[in-house]
Structure 1
Amino acid sequence: MSIDESAESVAATASATRYPVAPGYRVNVRSGPGTKYRIVRTLPLGASVPIYCQTPGEWISGPYGTTNIWDNIADGEFVSDAYVKTGSDGYVAPRCS
């Protein structure tokens, strides 16, 4: 990674909006956009997460509807948007590349 790429990464990290996870849920964080991906950690009750980018994946039903949008919350970490209160049924961040 170059110095420019590193600076861009830090800027993106600092500017990501945080969104609350649905109250009463401990959400599994996966290594990719679906339940077939391994669980890398579980979010605690009352967590909020940054969304750096979003990508289509497995369809999931949760407290905020049914969606195939998965939120990238850290490098190699994804949660279903069905459990994150973004205020939108669509994309609220750039698509992951």
Structure 2
Amino acid sequence: MTTQDDLGSVEPAGEQVLAAAAGGLTYPVAPGYRVKVRQGPGTNYPAVRTLAEGARIQIRCQRHGQSVSGPYGTSDIWDCIGSGQYVSDAYVRTGSSGMVAPRCTN
């Protein structure tokens, strides 16, 4: 499956799985999507890598940023998955339309 929104947030689907930190709660990326990880909470930030199809992420914290539409609706919540690494929550199945992790402090 190949998909891309008009903001360039996804790429052709692949088959690798990103392992999250051992023992932590993880959330799946929407099936069939490879989601770009960005340096900040918006598509205007450079992409630092792309999550593989079937990836699961561990959310460290969340912050509000650019509103993005994806398979799980439209959201301005961005999930921080590492230092300077953000993914739009619209592409992550958290089971909530609100925040599921602490608000980022930096």
Match of 1:50 in 2: 58
- Secondary structure, in 3 states, of the residue corresponding to 2:34? coil
Identity %: 62
Instruction: Tell me, in whole angstroms, the C-alpha distance in 2 between the residues paired with 1:16 and 1:50.
Output: 7
Runs (4+) off by over 3 Å? 13-16
Amino acid of the structure 2 residue aligned with 1:39? A
Match of 1:67 in 2: 75
- Normalised to the residue count of structure 2, the TM-score between the two structures is 0.77
State the shift of 1:14 in Å: 5.9
In terms of Rg, which structure is larger? 1
Q: How does 1:1-40 map to 2 (within 5 A)?
A: 16-40=24-48
Structure with greater proportional helix content = 1
Cα pair 1:51 1:73 within 8 Å, conserved: yes
Gaps of 5+ in 1: 1-12
1:42-97 deviation digits (Å, cap 9, x = unpaired): 00110000000000000000000000000001111000000000000000000000
Gaps of 5+ in 2: 1-20
- Secondary structure, in 3 states, of the residue corresponding to 2:48? strand
- Normalised to the residue count of structure 1, the TM-score between the two structures is 0.84
Q: Calculate the aligned-residue CA RMSD, in Å.
A: 1.2
